């Protein structure tokens, strides 16, 4: 069966900038989007579900996938913490006649954009300030102090990539950011 290729919408941001909230909002609308579930080797959190939030793979399974070229993109974000996008996930969504929406880190987003070119819209979600980002990460209370510092350092580096994306949304007012994303994505899918 031939796969009808749809479009690709990529949301990337430093952790805590609000990209997941924006992606969930877009998925609640009738835009023909379906979420691309990423794969990871990190430990599953209590509120997460395998196959819905992530495909939780062992380190060995993930490395085997790399060897087999099963990933569109992947990276080792922290030591032995791999994240990646399975090619089969995009095919699964396109087979359903839908467009793919990604919630991925900055490097992954740029790599996916390279693959799909004009069929992809790459959006960078930027926090209003580095201080606000740190405050959001601290308020989550999901990380140890050591992991929190790693995330903050990584976020500072990721902010330097914003200009390489097609569009940037500054998330200083959530409702405004949601509206901006909705218009941006709707316009892109209509082209």
Asked whether residue 166 is assigned to any structural domain, the reply reads: yes
- Sheet-wide strand order for 71-78: 55-56, 39-40, 81-86, 71-78
First-to-final CA distance of the chain? 26
Q: Which pLDDT tens digit goes with each residue over 19-42?
A: 999 999 999 999 999 999 999 999
Asked whether residue 123 is assigned to any structural domain, the reply reads: yes
- Beta carbons within 10 angstroms of residue 122's beta carbon: 22
Asked whether residue 31 is assigned to any structural domain, the reply reads: yes
Q: Is the pLDDT of residue 3 over 60?
A: no
Instruction: Find the mean pLDDT for residues 114-140.
Output: 84
Q: What residues does 82 pair with on adjacent strands? A: 76
Asked whether residue 1 is assigned to any structural domain, the reply reads: no
Q: What residues does 8 pair with on adjacent strands? A: 100, 120
Residue 108 lies in domain: 8-190
Q: Give the residue carrying structure tokens 């990721």.
A: 158
Q: What is the pLDDT of residue 146?
A: 76
Biggest CA–CA distance in the chain, Å, is 50
Report strand pairing: 8-12 vs 99-104: parallel
Asked whether residue 54 is assigned to any structural domain, the reply reads: yes
Asked whether residue 2 is assigned to any structural domain, the reply reads: no
- Beta carbons within 10 angstroms of residue 156's beta carbon: 13
Q: Which pLDDT tens digit goes with each residue over 60-115?
A: 999 999 999 999 999 998 889 999 999 999 999 999 999 999 998 898 999 999 99
User: How many structural domains compose the chain?
Assistant: 1
35: left (phi over 0), alpha (psi -120 to 50) or beta: beta
Q: Which pLDDT tens digit goes with each residue over 144-177?
A: 777 777 777 777 888 889 999 999 999 999 999 9
- CATH number for the domain harbouring residue 16: 3.40.50.300
Asked whether residue 3 is assigned to any structural domain, the reply reads: no
pLDDT confidence bin for 143, thresholds 50/70/90:
low
pTM for this structure?
0.85
Q: What is the pLDDT of residue 16?
A: 78
Q: Using alpha carbons only, how large is the chain's radius of gyration in Å? A: 16
Asked whether residue 118 is assigned to any structural domain, the reply reads: yes
């Amino acid at each position: 069966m031939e796969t009808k290729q749809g479009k690709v919408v990529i949301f990337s941001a430093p952790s805590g900038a609000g990209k997941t909230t924006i992606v969930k909002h877009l998925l609640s609308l009738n835009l023909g989007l379906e979420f691309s579930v990423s794969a990871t080797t990190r430990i599953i959190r209590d509120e997460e579900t395998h196959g819905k939030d992530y495909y939780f793979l062992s380190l060995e399974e993930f490395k085997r996938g790399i060897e087999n070229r099963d990933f569109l993109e992947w990276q080792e974000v922290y030591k032995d913490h791999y994240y990646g996008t399975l090619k089969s996930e995009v095919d699964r969504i396109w087979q359903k006649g839908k467009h793919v929406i990604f919630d991925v880190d900055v490097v992954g987003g740029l790599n996916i954009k390279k693959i799909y070119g004009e069929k992809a819209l790459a959006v960078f979600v930027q926090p209003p300030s580095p201080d606000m980002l740190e405050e959001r990460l601290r308020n989550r209370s999901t990380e140890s102090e050591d992991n929190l510092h790693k995330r903050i350092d990584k976020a500072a580096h990721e902010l330097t990539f914003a200009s390489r994306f097609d569009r940037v949304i500054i998330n200083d007012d959530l409702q405004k950011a949601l509206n901006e994303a909705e218009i941006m994505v709707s316009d892109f899918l209509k082209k």
